Structure 1
Amino acid sequence: MPEWIDIGVNLTDSAFDSDREAVLERAWQAGISQMVLTATSLAVSRQVQAICSENPERLFCTAGLHPHQASQWNDELAAELRVLARADCVRAIGECGLDYNRDFSPRPQQIKALEAQLELAVELELPVFLHERDASSVLIDVLRDYRDRLPAAVVHCFTADREALYPYLDMDLHIGITGWICDERRGSHLHALVGNIPAGRLMIETDAPWLVPRTLRPKPKRGRNEPAFIPEVASTLAHCRNESLEQLSLHTSATARQFFRLPTVQMASSY
């Protein structure tokens, strides 16, 4: 069975409150070897760390503030985040970035919070887990002052176009692909683009509980996505890249393991 590492799971979401352990078990059975749990606030950063402590070889997390909450950024929050980000299970700063699609926080505050978190990543020598919607050119401008000092950075859940992808690759950024690529209504443009992402720069994620692959059959109840569905994303991604599932598994898992500095795990013991 191919091995997969899901680099973006919102496991603290209330959609998983009733069966979180069962969700994890289904993921292990589906070939997921490890996951990186996404933090979007101080509260979620604490919650994901508690979950990671229950399975420290397979569960890891980020620590950060989502751009939707950027208006909350202040010195006290920054100090608390610096402490949380030093936990062993934290392997990246984020989810941070810019969202000019919904604009839930004023854009100047989004930039301020992003720059502060990039500085923290530089200080702690951690990679960055980035969110971007309708703001690729601004994100590139902000990153330009930090990129040489950052260990690495991934644009998670990439959904944009060629004009965004190529500058990201030129900056040596990694790219995360989700079930958006399985959505015939809005993700088909990605089919021609993903083959341009070099092996070693591509990673795969579900962004669960959102973005359930629309190609999945049978469709899950309540439309909830979960890590066990990552092989469905992988199937479309491999087809678009003209790769076998085994080839895709090998290089995306190796890339994720290197990017997040994950240990090697013995998959066979989980089945």
Structure 2
Amino acid sequence: MNPYRTTFPHPLVDIGANLTHESFGHDFDAVLERAAEASVHQLVVTGASREGSRHALDLARAHPGRLFATAGVHPHHAIEVTDEAVADLRELLTHPEVVAVGETGLDYFRDFAPRHAQQRAFERQLELAVECGKPLLLHQRDAHDDFLAILKPFLPRCGPAVVHCFTGDERALMESLDAGCYIGITGWLCDERRGQHLRELVKRIPADRLMVETDCPYLLPRTLKPTPKDRRNEPAFLPHIVHELAKDRGEDVAVTAASTTATARAFFRLPEA
């Protein structure tokens, strides 16, 4: 018996699911089945490396209308962004199943790649977004000022941009919104140690700029009970995040679900499920 099975009557879109992660290799079909049971009807599979972006496209092709892909290189892998890699990403972005450029941006929290390499990799992927006109899936952690300084000149020339897995403070939120960005909220909201500030900030996000995501297998909501033994997050837990988000925004859950789904479908140009 699945203890997380839920009758959630509102269709949802998970805009950030790392389904190429090895932890999903042994039960991928079951993960998608549980997502369907939880009314997570469409999922955007995150491409975070050259190889991962290709894998994301393969998954999207295998599940048309249900899974979609992004193509990009996460700042952790910024040194991958060579001329050859850019050409590879450019080709991936010609496919209709690839609905966004990214995940790209800056991460000064981990600093797994030199900052100058991160900045150059970010710029090159923003140039790709201008070329193809597709939306941007953005990553920013502890790098807000440099992130916006690089991003802003490109925004008038490219598609819409979402700051995925937003974890920042009030200034980062308001300046991102002022720049025209959308905001993706994850189970970080449910973390009493690190995400408590988001409980108030989410009230300030306009409904037509707000989307939801699991960022699975990462960021398992800490308020989810019972806690999965393997501590793996998965798309079926998205309704839990939506319930928490609705509560914090003072909305009926049906309103939050409907608005985030409509916003995601418009942003990524998804068909009706």
Could you give the per-residue CA deviations for residues 4-42 of structure 1, whole angstroms, max 9, x where no partner exists? 100000001011111011000100110111000000111
Tell me the residue number matched to 2:133: 125
Partner of 2:124: 116
Task: Find the counterpart in structure 2 of residue 269 from structure 1.
Answer: none
Q: Provide the residue aligned with 2:74 in structure 1.
A: 66
Q: Which residue of 1 aligns with 2:11?
A: 3
- 1:191 aligns to 2:191 (yes or no): no
Secondary structure of the corresponding residue to residue 188 of structure 1: coil
Secondary structure of the structure 1 residue equivalent to 2:64: coil
Secondary structure, in 3 states, of the residue corresponding to 2:53?
helix
SS at match of 1:6: strand
Distance 1:158 1:8 in 2: 12
SS of residue matched to 2:62: coil
**Structure 1 residue 204 corresponds to structure 2 residue 212:** yes
* Counterpart for residue 35 of structure 1: 43
Match of 2:181 in 1: 173
Residue number in structure 2 paired with 1:97: 105
Q: How many residues align?
A: 265
Partners of 1:203 and 1:26 lie apart in 2 by 21
Residue 235 of structure 2: aligned partner: 227
Paired position in structure 1 for 2:5: none
Using the alignment, how far apart are the partners of 1:152 and 1:159 within structure 2?
20
Normalised TM-score (structure 1): 0.97
Q: Secondary structure at the match of 1:157?
A: coil
Shift of 1:197: 0.2
Q: CA deviation at 1:143?
A: 1.1
Aligned counterpart, 1:20: 28
User: Equivalents in 1 of 2:118, 2:159: separation in Å?
Assistant: 22
Residue aligning to 2:4: none
Hey, what does 1:159 align to over in structure 2? 167
**Where in structure 1 are there 5+ consecutive unaligned residues?**
266-271
Deviation at 1:80, TM superposition (A): 1.0
Aligned to 1:268: none
Alpha-carbon distance in structure 2 between the residues aligned to 1:151 and 1:68? 24
Counterpart residue identity of residue 51, structure 2: A
Q: Secondary structure of 1:193's partner?
A: helix
Tell me the distance in 1 between the aligned counterparts of 2:155 and 2:81.
22
Q: Residues 137-148 of structure 1: matches in 2 within 5 Å?
A: 137-148=145-156
- Match of 1:221, SS state, is coil
Within 2, Cα distance between the matches of 1:44 and 1:72? 12
C-alpha deviation, 1:151, in angstroms: 1.5
Specify the SS of the correspondent of 2:208: coil
Once the two structures are superposed, what CA deviation does each residue of 1:211-239 show, in whole Å capped at 9, x if it has no partner? 01111111112100000000111111000
**1:159-178 CA distances to partner (integer Å, 9 max, x unpaired)?**
01001000000011000000
SS for the counterpart of 1:44 is: helix
Report the aligned-residue RMSD: 0.7
Which one of 241, 245, 248 corresponds to residue 237 of structure 1? 245
SS of aligned partner of 1:223:
coil
Question: Which one of the candidate residues 245, 260, 264 is aligned to 1:252?
Answer: 260
Which residue among 132, 136, 150 is the counterpart of 2:144?
136
Q: CA deviation at 1:256?
A: 0.1
How far has the Cα of 1:54 moved from its partner? Answer: 1.5
Q: SS at the partner of 2:207?
A: coil
SS in 1 for 2:48: coil
Q: AA paired with 1:113?
A: A
Structure 2, unpaired ranges of 5+: 1-8
SS at match of 2:36: helix
Partner Cα separation in structure 2 for residue 148 and residue 84 of structure 1: 23
TM-score (norm. length: structure 2): 0.96
SS of match in other structure, 2:20: coil
| 1:48 counterpart (47, 56, 62) | 56
